[in-house]
Amino acid sequence: MTWFKGLEDNSIDSWRELCRAFSSHFTARKRQPKTMASLSNIVQGKEESLRDYIERFTREAIEIKGAHDMLKCYIFEKSLRNDTKFKEKLGLKEPRDMQ
């Protein structure tokens, strides 16, 4: 109620504007929990070193509660750049053909 009373007079002209103002005020302050979907959005950048990627991935993975480690490993491996020796050693490169 304090937020609503703090709005300037005539600053809201429609229900849509009120909803937008309400959402931007209250949802921006709440930190959203990390999910496996957010983890799967992390990919090794074109110029990113393996060490930097591992550190960035680990920081995010630690925040996800209740996820199986095997699934985290799978996402980690799939998010590596294709042109790295590390991925090649893991045997994760897609075959060029069936021969």
- Other Cβ atoms closer than 10 A to 44: 21
Domain tally, the chain? 1
47 falls within a domain? yes
Query: pLDDT per position in the chain (99 positions), as tens?
Result: 687 788 888 888 889 988 888 887 777 666 777 888 888 999 999 999 999 999 999 999 988 888 788 889 889 989 999 888 888 887 755 656 555
> Around 54, how many Cα atoms within 13 Å sit in the side-chain half-sphere?
5
Written as six digits, the tokens of 20 are 């937008």
Q: Are 53 and 80 in contact (CB under 8 A)?
A: yes
13 falls within a domain? no
- Domain residues for the domain of 71 are 36-86
